Amino acid sequence: MSEPDIASHRPVLVFDSGIGGLTVLREARVLIPERRFVYVADDAGFPYGGWSEDALRDHVVALFGTLLQDHDPALCVVACNTAFTVAGAALRAAYPDRVFVGTVPAIKPAAERTRSCLVSVLATPGTVQRDYTRRLIRSFASRCKVQLVGSTRLAQMAEAYIRGQTVADEAIRAEIAAAFVEDGGARTDIVVLGCTHYPFLANVFRRLAPWPVDWLDPAEAIARHARSLLPWAEHALHPASADSAFFTSGAPDFATRRLMNSFGLAVGDETFTAGRADPRG
């Protein structure tokens, strides 16, 4: 029997500005059961939706300098549309020996599935403004009418909701209303969840939607992509240490710790030195 491959003991790092990446983590665990996972939430920088592009790109690239050093992951999943659509290329350029799997709005699958050709993308204001998003539409959805809906509040609402706080139906209804378009007798039939926080609210969206639509969550596709890039790591089965979560604030509150524990994540006490300044532009 050959020596265990050292690389097989390296974890998969899942990154987001907050708790949204947990929607991707839960799918990735199913498909990559043999690996240890490290979850990192840049809660000190949350929400990313309103950051300027240059500031966010620099911030995320600097932060990954620390994360790669501290955790030496076998693969990084950037489970954040807002971060990846602006910083994905810069991350790959800055750390060429590392493997990054990104998250971008699922515009291609939406365009393939829609019958009405009316598709909406519900995302943060940052994501809907990105050239990256516009390019996806031009490349894959030119036959569709794509409605971009940038919500300034939904990511925070999802954070509150998943921690057990009440979020008023009216407030959520107001954020999703623009995603429902009627045009010449046709109606939106697919809404792309272009922010990893939103699947936590999917049941509420379904209940409040003016008519039924498909809510497209890319989590499983992202996990499948990550799986395809990672060799099966036999020797890593049943890793000795538990999956863990780290917060750039260094101070997640009780509700957040409890949420992480419910996902089987031990909350680490690491403090972060990179990307600490608040570079919101």
Site residues (vs ligand DGL, CB under 6 A): 16-18, 20, 46-49, 80-82, 124, 127, 155, 195-197
Instruction: Name which of 10 and 130 has its Cβ closer to ligand DGL.
Output: 130
Q: How far is the CB of 153 from ligand DGL (least distance, A)?
A: 10
Q: How far is the CB of 234 from ligand DGL (least distance, A)?
A: 33
Q: Do residues 42 and 272 make contact, with C-beta atoms less than 8 angstroms apart?
A: no
- As a whole number of angstroms, the distance between CA 2 and CA 123 comes to 47
Kindly provide the residue ranges of all beta strands, DSSP E only, lying in the chain, ordered along the sequence. 12-16, 37-41, 75-78, 100-101, 118-123, 145-150, 182-183, 186-187, 190-193, 214-216, 244-247, 266-267
The reply to whether 144 belongs to the active site is no
- As a whole number of angstroms, the distance between CA 162 and CA 259 comes to 8
- As a whole number of angstroms, the distance between CA 103 and CA 216 comes to 13
Query: Quick one: tokens of 53?
Result: 């592009």
- As a whole number of angstroms, the distance between CA 165 and CA 278 comes to 27
Query: Quick one: tokens of 52?
Result: 């300027």
Q: How far is the CB of 196 from ligand DGL (least distance, A)?
A: 4
State the catalytic residue, choosing from 76, 80, 117, 144: 80
Q: How far is the CB of 103 from ligand DGL (least distance, A)?
A: 6
Instruction: Name which of 38 and 78 has its Cβ closer to ligand DGL.
Output: 78
Instruction: Name which of 101 and 236 has its Cβ closer to ligand DGL.
Output: 101
Query: Quick one: tokens of 167?
Result: 């979020």
Q: How far is the CB of 8 from ligand DGL (least distance, A)?
A: 29
Instruction: Name which of 237 and 277 has its Cβ closer to ligand DGL.
Output: 277
Q: Do residues 78 and 102 make contact, with C-beta atoms less than 8 angstroms apart?
A: yes
- As a whole number of angstroms, the distance between CA 123 and CA 48 comes to 11
The reply to whether 195 belongs to the active site is yes
Instruction: Name which of 17 and 256 has its Cβ closer to ligand DGL.
Output: 17
Active site residues: 80, 195
